Amino acid sequence: MDRNSRIFVAGHRGLVGSAIVRQLAETGYTDLVLRDRSQLDLTDQAAVRAFFDREEIAYVIIAAAKVGGILANERCGADFIRDNLLIQTNVIDAAWRAGVKKLLFLGSSCLYPKHAEQPIKEEALLSGPMEPSNKPYAVAKIAGITMCQAYRKQYGFNAICAMPSNLYGPGDHFEPETSHALPGMIRRFHDAKMAGDPTVTLWGTGTPRREFLYVDDMADACLHLMERYDGEDIVNVGPGEDIAIGDLAGMIRETVGYPGTLGHDLDKPDGHPRKLMDVSRLFATGWRPKIGLPEGLQRTYEWFLKNAAPPAPAQPAPAQPISHAAE
Ligand SMILES: NC(=O)c1ccc[n+]([C@@H]2O[C@H](COP(=O)([O-])OP(=O)(O)OC[C@H]3O[C@@H](n4cnc5c(N)ncnc54)[C@H](OP(=O)(O)O)[C@@H]3O)[C@@H](O)[C@H]2O)c1
């Protein structure tokens, strides 16, 4: 990509898409094509084809998807499989037809089999049964990856796929019903602080380990791959290290300045003991994350306070324990 390349970032208002736009702009890319859902509904095939026919896009990053936490996935599986299949099929196919030079598609660490060997290597994809709670989402995303690989093989289309770990940062979703684990914790501690709750309760023992990448690092990795990687193989994108959920909760408590205690609901399941991706393929290309958890959490909480915190005095959600089981 040269700095004048015309680049379409699909989903530019989302957590990942907005970070990619920030990163592209900071790096000096000037010709960004951005459309929100009201201007271009990516589930509408005719509209997507017309858009690509018209816009002469050179590069595409697909950060548009239907994304959500455990509750949303369990309640709205039909929406997750339909919307994701439509969005990615429409964009990948129209981009290839319009002669786009290169496309980046995003999978997720949660597509790997439930009991994949740790740390999870890229080869583990489709090697065992998947986590049932997000199966519709995972099946759709794996179809997107397979589509990129098939278009590369049959049509020579330079479509690459990255597998991000859990992400967090400015632009995240903090609503108790739909958020992922980390922003859900920030919201829970914040609400408890505002309401003067004496305890925030965590599901299980807090010993399971998970990985979290700051979204600006994710955006940096996306650009790195767009500029330097042209392979068929998927590439894990993560921090390369994990943290016990109890320790993460302690860090968030400190970041938020919550004075109460952290309780554990030991009747609740712990979930998988560890979920960490092997990032040696990405690290071998010279990429490393730059922002550690303490700084990332601080920046995220500041963004939350300015943009997403409920008006004080907040009423906490009725004593909802924090769950991380499916992430
Ligand atoms: N967040 C994570 O922890 C995480 C982890 C691993 C992988 N990923 C991957 O990263 C990608 C981006 O995720 P994210 O967390 O940034 O999600 P997000 O914050 O929910 O953003 C998704 C974006 O897609 C747009 N979109 C959804 N449906 C659309 C449609 N029909 N037409 C046009 N735009 C549509 C949304 O627009 P609206 O604002 O209008 O809804 C939003 O801007 C996804 O592929 C996801 O699988 C995310």
- pLDDT of amino acid 269: 82
Least Cα distance to 189 among 327, 296, 68, 320 occurs for 320
* CA distances, 113 to each of 12, 68, 263, 300 (Å): 29, 19, 31, 30
Report strand pairing: 166-168 vs 212-214. parallel
Rounded to an integer, what distance in angstroms lies between the CA atom of residue 57 and that of residue 105?
16
List of domains in the chain: 6-167+212-237 (3.40.50.720)
Spatial contact of 252 and 189, defined as CB atoms under 8 Å apart: yes
- pLDDT of amino acid 323: 59
112 is catalytic: no
- pLDDT of amino acid 42: 98
Residue 270, marked binder: yes
- pLDDT of amino acid 325: 46
Torsion of CA 98, 104, 105, 110, to 10 degrees: 180
Ligand 1 center to residue 259 CA distance, Å?
Answer: 34
Pocket test for ligand 1, best of 8, 12, 15, 45 (most atoms within 8 A of CB): 15
- pLDDT of amino acid 177: 78
Spatial contact of 37 and 44, defined as CB atoms under 8 Å apart: no
Rounded to an integer, what distance in angstroms lies between the CA atom of residue 279 and that of residue 283?
6
Q: Residue 57 gets which letter from DSSP?
A: -
Look up tokens 């560890």; give the residue: 274
- pLDDT of amino acid 315: 55
- pLDDT of amino acid 31: 98
- pLDDT of amino acid 3: 95
Least Cα distance to 295 among 287, 303, 306 occurs for 303
Look up tokens 């439930």; give the residue: 114
Residue 165, marked binder: yes
Spatial contact of 148 and 160, defined as CB atoms under 8 Å apart: yes
Which positions of the chain have pLDDT values less than 70?
Answer: 313-327
Spatial contact of 37 and 11, defined as CB atoms under 8 Å apart: no
Q: Is 92 left (phi over 0), alpha (psi -120 to 50) or beta?
A: alpha
